[in-house]
Amino acid sequence: MAKQKSAKKNDDWTKTLTRVFVVFILISCVLGFTLTMGFFSIFKTAADGSGIVVSYTIRDDSGVPVLSSEETIIENEGVIAGVSQPMQMVIGQNYSDFIVPIEVYMYPAGVTSYALFEPELTAIADGAKGMHEGDTKTVPFPFGEAMVRDMTAEQYTLIGGNYSEAEIGMWIPLGFAPQPEIVLDNETAPETVATRMAKIVEMENDTLTVQYGYASADIAIEQIV
pLDDT tens per residue across all 225 residues of the chain:
544 445 454 555 455 444 544 444 444 444 444 444 444 455 789 999 999 999 999 999 999 999 999 999 999 999 999 999 999 999 999 998 899 999 999 988 899 999 999 999 999 999 999 999 999 999 999 999 999 999 999 999 998 999 999 999 999 999 998 765 556 555 444 456 899 999 999 999 899 999 999 999 999 999 998
Contact 163, 200 (CB under 8 A): no
pLDDT recorded at residue 69: 97
Contact 183, 92 (CB under 8 A): no
pLDDT recorded at residue 30: 41
pLDDT recorded at residue 185: 55
The whole-angstrom separation of Cα 81 and Cα 57 is 11
The whole-angstrom separation of Cα 84 and Cα 215 is 18
Give Cα 85 distance to the centre of its chain: 6
pLDDT recorded at residue 184: 59
Q: Which residues are CB-contacts of 224 (< 8 A; sequence separation ≥ 6)?
A: 41, 44, 45, 46, 50, 51, 52, 132, 133
Judged by phi (left if over 0) then psi (alpha if -120 to 50, else beta), residue 86 lies in beta
In total, the chain counts a number of residues equal to 225
pLDDT recorded at residue 192: 66
- Single pTM value for the model: 0.77
Nearest to 224 by CA among 92, 94, 41, 93: 41
